[in-house]
């Protein structure tokens, strides 16, 4: 028996220009692994007013939303790679537009999630209508990703027009528990009652644990899904404990719902995978060339801010490095947020001390990313102070590939980390990582074996240990090349394969109601199904 999947998500790096973070990688890679077993995957995202332009219109979708009839259009769009078992779709509607974060999400400082909740509630209703119209065939599994898509579970539970959704098993993946999609029940244009005025709301079942006049769309997914998935085993354990910010980030107010899901056998921690096939191969000694090329490209953009900084600071420093190469390169690639760089913002002297340690060894630290203005401003200020700090305030796949390939050490001092993909990408190239021992970083980096890690009971202890481990790591690079080479080799030999992870998906998330051993038809000799692989590895 073949399984038919629908992935519903805000990001999908299986198509062009639809990625802001790690979710896009997961939604790109998991369907490809499922397709290798000849199961069918349909992947659907919003169009954001642009992605449908390269697609083919399938049909119009007419549905009731905000108490009136709305019409959206379903398009099939080309994937980055053609695969007969994967189809990519986007939904277009005038109210679904591009945000200011990666041309996907909106930043609403006065009312968080205001615009995104309007956009994704419309999107979810259109997806429900597409399922109702049988546009994807009979679906055994509908896999939802983060709060943006959890309203499909609300429609399944409460909306009389979409009872067809009860015929599918719903899996809900938590990529980042800290971003929860909290909106009022009523009395607001961006509220549950405004989206669905015809539905009688069960506030007791739906209310946020802390704000009882609001719905928490992350909690909605946890409460109503058939299976709830966190993207690493250690993160699953972290989020069952209350947060003690900033020293420890755990359940963020949702720990009781997560404990209940675990007690009911619905909560699973499965580590994300990494792609090791047909990857883009960076060329040696292209880092500075790629950086300068990207900077000059950005300078031509009329709305690009800080042009003088790109020239006078970043560009000038990179030009000097191209002529006088450093002896040691550290790198970080991430969105500039509290999750990724809180240690530096909370205590900028940590970053200054790191740079002083590097300066004594002719080393540099390169940070690439965009994000919160206060983080951009803070990094820019440090770049004025420290000659060996290169802040590349932009996004460039070419620079990123070069950093993963040419740096000596990847720094990932995340305050919390559901899984993390950057450390896997760096390790894939034989580059060891120095990480905060939290969440998925615990599951992927072994201290003094495949990389380096720091921890501590308090924020102050963690900061001190970060500096000490960093100094020891830099010393090791210069003073014991054999051990360093062994750690690099061990890092490169690590395999966090999607084949292994997706096998666990089938076992724990997808096939709870389908007998695994009868799931696949017999295949030709020499070909393995998921059931073959599962039984072989037991």
Q: Per-residue pLDDT averaged across 411-432, rounded?
A: 96
Range with the lowest mean pLDDT among 34-43, 46-55, 412-421, 503-512? 503-512
Cβ pair 117, 181 in contact under 8 A: yes
DSSP 396-461: -HHHHHHHHHH-SEEEE--S--SS-SHHHHHHHTT--EEEES-HHHHHH--BTTTBEEE--SSHHH
Cα distances (Å, whole numbers) of residue 170 to 22, 231, 265, 411: 21, 17, 14, 36
Compute, in degrees rounded to 10, the torsion defined by CA atoms 18, 21, 25, 27: -60
Q: Per-residue pLDDT averaged across 214-238, rounded?
A: 97
Q: List strand residue ranges (DSSP E) for 249-327, in order.
A: 267-269
Confidence of residue 531 (pLDDT cuts 50, 70, 90): very low
Rounded CA gap, 482 and 479, in Å?
Answer: 9
- What distance lies between CA 336 and its chain's CA centroid? 14
**Hey, CA dihedral for 395, 399, 400, 403, is it positive or negative?**
negative
**Partners of 229 in beta bridges:** 173, 268
- As a whole-number percent, the residues of the chain with pLDDT over 70 amount to 94
Strand, coil or helix: 214: strand
> Is the pLDDT confidence value at 515 over 60?
no
Strand, coil or helix: 174: strand
% helix, strand, coil for the chain, step of 5: 45, 20, 40
pLDDT tens-digit series, residues 365-381? 999 998 889 999 999 99
> Is the pLDDT confidence value at 512 over 70?
no
> Is the pLDDT confidence value at 191 over 60?
yes
Rounded CA gap, 160 and 249, in Å?
Answer: 39
Q: What pTM does this model have?
A: 0.90
């Amino acid at each position: 028996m073949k399984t038919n999947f629908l992935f519903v998500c805000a990001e999908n790096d299986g198509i062009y220009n639809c990625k802001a973070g790690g979710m896009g990688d997961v939604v790109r890679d998991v369907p490809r692994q499922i397709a290798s077993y000849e199961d069918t995957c349909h992947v659907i995202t919003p169009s954001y007013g642009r992605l449908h332009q390269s697609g083919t219109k399938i049909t119009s979708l007419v549905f009731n939303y905000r108490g009136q009839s709305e019409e959206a259009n379903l398009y099939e769009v080309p994937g980055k790679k053609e695969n007969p078992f994967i189809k990519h779709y986007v939904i277009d509607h005038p109210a679904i537009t591009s945000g200011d974060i990666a041309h996907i999400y909106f930043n609403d400082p006065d009312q968080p999630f205001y615009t995104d909740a309007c956009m994704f509630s419309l999107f979810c209703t259109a997806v429900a209508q597409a399922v109702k119209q049988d546009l994807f065939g009979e679906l055994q599994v509908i896999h939802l990703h983060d709060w943006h898509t959890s309203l499909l579970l609300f429609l399944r539970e409460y909306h009389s027009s979409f009872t067809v959704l009860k015929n599918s098993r719903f899996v809900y993946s938590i990529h980042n528990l800290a971003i929860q999609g909290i909106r009022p029940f009523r009395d607001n244009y961006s509220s549950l009652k405004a989206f669905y005025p015809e539905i009688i709301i069960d506030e007791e079942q739906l209310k946020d644990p802390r704000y009882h006049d609001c719905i928490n769309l992350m909690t909605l997914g946890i409460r109503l899904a058939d299976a709830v998935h966190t993207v690493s085993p250690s993160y699953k354990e972290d989020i069952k404990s209350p947060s003690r910010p900033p020293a420890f980030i755990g359940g963020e107010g949702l720990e009781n719902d997560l404990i209940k899901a675990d007690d009911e056998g619905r909560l699973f921690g499965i580590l994300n995978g990494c792609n090791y096939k047909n990857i883009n191969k960076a060329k040696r000694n292209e880092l500075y060339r790629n950086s300068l090329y990207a900077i000059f490209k950005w300078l031509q953009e009329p709305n690009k801010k800080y042009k003088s900084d790109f020239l006078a600071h970043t560009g000038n420093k990179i030009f000097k490095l191209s002529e006088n190469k450093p002896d040691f390169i550290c790198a970080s690639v991430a969105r500039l947020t509290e999750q990724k760089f809180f240690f530096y913002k909370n205590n900028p002297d940590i970053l200054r001390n790191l740079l002083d340690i590097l300066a004594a060894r002719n080393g540099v630290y390169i940070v690439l990313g965009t994000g919160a203005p206060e983080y951009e401003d803070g990094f820019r200020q440090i770049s004025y102070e420290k000659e060996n700090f290169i802040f590349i305030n932009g996004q460039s796949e070419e620079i990123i590939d070069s950093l993963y390939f040419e740096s000596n050490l990847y720094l990932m001092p995340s305050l919390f980390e559901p899984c993390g993909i950057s450390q896997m990408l760096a390790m894939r190239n034989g580059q060891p990582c120095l990480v905060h021992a939290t969440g998925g970083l615990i599951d992927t980096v072994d201290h003094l074996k495949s990389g380096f890690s720091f921890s501590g009971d308090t924020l102050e202890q963690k900061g001190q240990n970060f500096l000490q481990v960093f100094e020891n790591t830099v010393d090791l690079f210069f003073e014991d090349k054999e051990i360093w080479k062994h750690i690099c080799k061990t890092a490169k030999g690590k395999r966090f394969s999607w084949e292994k992870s997706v096998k666990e998906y089938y076992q724990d998330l997808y096939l709870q109601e389908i007998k695994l051993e009868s799931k696949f038809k017999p295949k030709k000799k020499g070909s393995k199904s998921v059931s073959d692989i599962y039984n072989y590895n037991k």
